[in-house]
Amino acid sequence: MKQLPPETVRLLSSSQVITSVLNVVKELMENSIDAGATSIDIKLENYGLDRIEVRDNGHGIKAADTSVMAVRHFTSKICSHEDLEQLETYGFRGEALGSICAVAEVSVITKTEEDDISTQYMLDLTGNIVSQKPSHLGQGTTVSVLKLFKNLPVRRQYYTSTKKCKEELKKVQDLLIAYAVIKPALRFTLTHNKVVVWQKAKAADHRSALLATLGPSAVANLLPCHHHQEQPEILLDGFFPKPGADYCSTSSTSHDKTLIFVNDRPVHQKDIIKLLRQHYTAQYPADSTRNRPNCNLSLFDDEMALSCPETTGMNLASESPEKPMDNAVLGADAGQGQLSAEDWSRGTALTDPLSGDPLQPVRIHQPSRHNTSDSAEVKGLSSPNRKMLNAITEKRAALTAYDLISNRAMRAPLSPAALFEREARAEVLREKPTASLQDISAAVHERWKNLGEEERKKYVEKAKKHLQQHDQRTKLASAEGVREPERQPSVGTPKSQLQGQKRKAPLSNQQLLDQLFTAQPQKKTRSPAPKPSQPLPCSVAALRLQLHRLSSQSSSAPLGLRLVNRLASQGAWVVLCGRKLMLLNPFRVEEALLFKRLLENNILPAVSLQSPVQLTDGVLGGAEYTQALCNMEKQSPDLNGGSFFSDARLVANGFQIRFTPGLQSAERHLEVTAMADCVPFLGVEDLREILKAVVHRKAKTVQECRPLKVTNYLQGEAVRLARQLPTNLTREDVEEILLRMQQQLGENNHTCIHKRPFLQHLRLTISKPCY
């Protein structure tokens, strides 16, 4: 790999930013294709937010290039911007992997044909290598992206909705389908949460790739098309629907199966899609709902190749499939007379073909100046002297689907045709789920015309029953209360009196209005009942004398903790520490005691590994750590000469290691055969932490050799066990806890796991009552 020159970086740099899971998959997959891969596996966890893994069997990355493989503007695909004229790869800027490192944790496992084993590299935010270790994978490259957008919470919040996550997974699948069509020789596999979502085997040609991705029913209605033009050089290949094919198998309601490619790159070109849609719609003018064809189009010219591989049915030509090719060529020829930006800004780009003058804007719906009556009417409507109607109390009479009877909205009776339409509409929708509203209405109207006399009589009888029920409800509503006729003002009534008049509410609603708007009589609030109390004899002088006696008794004896009593409301105990009253939290003490006991005695159960992990000097961090491991206590050897380590510092931390000796130090064999699975992400790094404590701190006990992950796990276990204690501890239990605290924790360690003190000072405030 070489670094691009500064002038090339300025010309090509796009400041690429990763904004979605689709961007990550696209960049990594294109790198795999550029590396000559024939098999690509994409694995996602939690829709790609937790993990994205892209594995291929390509050439791999050379060891000399690994140090700059993720550094920006380092690439092996071009050397300068002049190489773009003969570009044969998808990537050329050298920014993709570096942009991914900026938003996630990235690891790369790669192996070339010359390498003996593969190597795993951990990268930082800038793309530099942090650590490396050997791996067991074969030839090719595997890129793992963990915790995507971990440092961009706003971007990660975008994927909190399950709908957004499913849409992103669908976009990834559509992208793989596009590349599977344009690259038939590639094998693809898409896995989400260990479930295979989509896969495609290797295919011989584009038609076979279409059969694997779209199915035989769609490909059977496709017709291959080819067009070549020399000046300018344009090459167009594609698969289009056969003339007269069934539109149900050659179209869809979305553009996801209209595939367009430029230089074998999937693109979304609106102009071409619009052209294809127009030709396809002309084949089926009666159906306007399914007017998005499934097409695969390929175009090539001397400067760029527009390649639209085969897709599902799309009818482009009304007479022959060659018509869309001619139209495409005409569009290309017409594009030679391009509009300049200068003419467009001056307004002279578009001219009248007859006069040659620039086109002027057209005024539409300009009101007439001589229509004074209309303007006077508008002024009258907007005049402030005009009284605005009350939309609630002064409703205008209008014909609606409901009849207002005694202030009640009642549904008007249905006609025979309306009853038939209500039943037939559901049948039409079941037969044609994708039909439009116009098609449904037309189908129902046609069925009503063709309905027999006997069936029509049934709906007439139903309509009569509806009318009878409506009349009965009308009589019942009218009997409850009749609305009073509104008083009409006389002609000579002054306008001020009309405005002062208030409209009376209907009698039928007066009681309801009184209940809603009349002020409710305020209920007398009852005084709260006095709380029960009992006077207790208290004497400040007696309390002072008692405390003085206790202090005099403890002055000669060594200062310690003496239990006084329990506070029922707080769950704490009052203790006397020397001459001070303090509050004791026994649960914090028990939590610290449990954690100390777990650190010293707990043994993590080890679970056998499917494939043992080999331990070498490089894995453990150096020869001194390997020697320290070999010097630890072992069991007696078995028949094969191997033995397991029995050292408590290894076994208690959940590691089972087998040792096979050799004649020389280079021939000895170490491997981890079992490991604890109760501690999340426990691995060889924690074993290295144990060996560092043994080598550098001369740790001899299990407590001194606990890794950080094991320590955090044991802290959580101590908290969980402490929460299982009963809420109300007896006096004997608390005294026992105090005794164990003094014996096991000593005098200096008086804090819990979370560094909170066991004892807190108790302040007594005694106020003298006023009489």
Instruction: Give the tens place of pLDDT for each residue, 238-290.
Output: 887 777 666 666 666 666 677 888 777 888 777 887 887 777 777 665 554 45
Q: Is residue 163 located within the same domain as residue 286?
A: no
- pLDDT of 397 reads 42
Q: What is the pLDDT of residues 629-652, one digit of tens each?
A: 998 999 888 887 889 999 999 999
* C-alpha–C-alpha distance, residues 507 and 493, integer Å: 26
Q: Is residue 34 located within the same domain as residue 159?
A: yes
Span 681-706, mean pLDDT?
A: 91
Q: How confident is the model at residue 653 (pLDDT cuts 50, 70, 90)?
A: very high
- pLDDT of 299 reads 52
Query: Residue-wise over 531-568: b if at least 16 C-beta within 10 A, else e?
Result: eeeeeeeeeeeeeeeeeeeeeeeeeeeeeebeeeebee
Question: Is residue 243 assigned to a domain?
Answer: yes
Q: What is the pLDDT of residues 380-419, one digit of tens each?
A: 444 444 444 444 344 444 434 444 444 455 667 888 888 8
- pLDDT of 428 reads 83
Q: Is residue 183 located within the same domain as residue 223?
A: no
Lowest mean pLDDT among 308-322, 345-359, 533-547: 308-322
Q: What is the CATH number of the domain that holds 31?
A: 3.30.565.10
- pLDDT of 313 reads 34
Q: Is residue 233 located within the same domain as residue 188?
A: no
- pLDDT of 729 reads 81
Domain boundary at 301, 329, 351, which? 301
Domain boundary at 301, 317, 332, which? 301
Element spanning 2, H or E: strand 2-3
253 vs 564 pLDDT, higher one = 564
Q: Is residue 232 reached through a cis peptide bond, with omega within 30 degrees of 0 on the bond before it?
A: yes
DSSP for 485-533, written as a single string = PPPPPPTT--HHHHHH--PPPPHHHHHHHHHHHSPPPPPPPPPPPPPP-
* C-alpha–C-alpha distance, residues 604 and 675, integer Å: 9
Structure tokens at 71: 């550094």
- Which structural domain, as residue segments, surrounds residue 635? 602-711
* C-alpha–C-alpha distance, residues 289 and 274, integer Å: 15
* C-alpha–C-alpha distance, residues 237 and 273, integer Å: 15
10 Å Cβ neighbour count for 63? 13
Question: Is residue 338 assigned to a domain?
Answer: no
Q: What is the DSSP letter of 483?
A: P
Question: Residues with Cβ < 8 Å from 265, sequence gap 6 or more?
Answer: 90, 307
* C-alpha–C-alpha distance, residues 576 and 571, integer Å: 17
Asked whether residue 224 carries a pLDDT value surpassing 70, the answer given is yes
Question: Is residue 28 assigned to a domain?
Answer: yes
Q: Is residue 630 located within the same domain as residue 679?
A: yes
Element spanning 549, H or E: helix 540-556
Structure tokens at 133: 């270790």
- pLDDT of 577 reads 78
- pLDDT of 651 reads 92
Q: How confident is the model at residue 143 (pLDDT cuts 50, 70, 90)?
A: very high
- pLDDT of 306 reads 33
* C-alpha–C-alpha distance, residues 706 and 144, integer Å: 30
Span 162-173, mean pLDDT?
A: 90
Nearest to 393 by CA among 502, 512, 513: 502
10 Å Cβ neighbour count for 145? 26
492 vs 444 pLDDT, higher one = 444
Structure tokens at 580: 């001070």
Question: Is residue 458 assigned to a domain?
Answer: no
Asked whether residue 450 carries a pLDDT value surpassing 60, the answer given is yes
pLDDT > 90 fraction of the chain, expressed in percent and rounded: 17
- pLDDT of 452 reads 87
Handedness of CA 164, 170, 173, 179 (dihedral sign): negative
Backbone angles phi, psi at 33, to 5 degrees: -65, -40
662 vs 664 pLDDT, higher one = 662
| Measured torsion, CA atoms of residues 28, 33, 35, 38, in degrees rounded to the nearest 10 | 120
- pLDDT of 274 reads 80
Question: Is residue 448 assigned to a domain?
Answer: no
Could you give the strand order of the β-sheet that contains 39-45, starting from the edge strand earlier in sequence?
A: 129-135, 118-123, 105-111, 140-146, 51-56, 39-45, 187-192, 195-200
Structure tokens at 127: 């793309």
- Determine what percent of the chain falls in helix, strand and coil, rounding each to the nearest 5: 40, 20, 40
Let me know how many helices (H) and strands (E) the chain has, helices first. 25, 28
Structure tokens at 338: 């391009």
Question: Is residue 158 assigned to a domain?
Answer: yes
pLDDT > 70 fraction of the chain, expressed in percent and rounded: 67
Q: Is residue 170 located within the same domain as residue 46?
A: yes
Q: Is residue 33 located within the same domain as residue 148?
A: yes
Angle (nearest 5°) at CA 496 between 493 and 502: 90
33 vs 312 pLDDT, higher one = 33
Structure tokens at 51: 């993990």
Q: Is residue 178 located within the same domain as residue 263?
A: no
Q: How many domains does the chain have?
A: 3
Structure tokens at 326: 């001619």
Q: For every residue of 326-364, which 3-state class applies, written as one string?
A: HHHHHHHHHCCCCCCHHHHHHCCCCECCCCCCECCCCCC
Span 569-582, mean pLDDT?
A: 76
Structure tokens at 310: 């085969």
* C-alpha–C-alpha distance, residues 514 and 371, integer Å: 52
Q: Is 434 in a helix, a strand, or coil?
A: coil
Q: How far is the CA of 746 from the CAs of 119, 461, 589, 739, 750, in angstroms?
A: 50, 97, 12, 10, 8
- pLDDT of 278 reads 76
Q: Where are the beta strands (DSSP E) in 124-204?
A: 129-135, 140-146, 187-192, 195-200
227 vs 312 pLDDT, higher one = 227
Q: For every residue of 567-621, which 3-state class applies, written as one string?
A: ECCCCEEEEEECCEEEEECHHHHHHHHHHHHHHHHCCCCEEEEEEEEEECHHHHC
Span 133-142, mean pLDDT?
A: 91
- pLDDT of 482 reads 47
Q: What is the CATH number of the domain that holds 258?
A: 3.30.230.10
Average pLDDT, the chain: 75
- pLDDT of 292 reads 57
Question: Is residue 72 assigned to a domain?
Answer: yes
- pLDDT of 40 reads 94
Biggest CA-to-CA distance, the chain? 129
Angle (nearest 5°) at CA 640 between 637 and 641: 40
Highest mean pLDDT among 104-118, 197-211, 363-377, 402-416 belongs to 104-118
Domain boundary at 301, 336, 364, which? 301
Lowest mean pLDDT among 373-387, 525-539, 613-627: 373-387
* C-alpha–C-alpha distance, residues 327 and 321, integer Å: 11
Span 168-187, mean pLDDT?
A: 90
Structure tokens at 504: 């009376």
Indicate the pTM of the whole model. 0.41
Question: Is residue 592 assigned to a domain?
Answer: no
Structure tokens at 692: 């560092």
Q: What is the pLDDT of residues 725-741, one digit of tens each?
A: 787 788 888 888 888 88
Q: Is residue 106 located within the same domain as residue 177?
A: yes
- pLDDT of 650 reads 92
Q: Is residue 187 located within the same domain as residue 227?
A: no
Q: How confident is the model at residue 302 (pLDDT cuts 50, 70, 90)?
A: very low
- pLDDT of 745 reads 81
Q: Is residue 125 located within the same domain as residue 75?
A: yes
Q: Is residue 252 located within the same domain as residue 169?
A: no
* C-alpha–C-alpha distance, residues 48 and 482, integer Å: 68
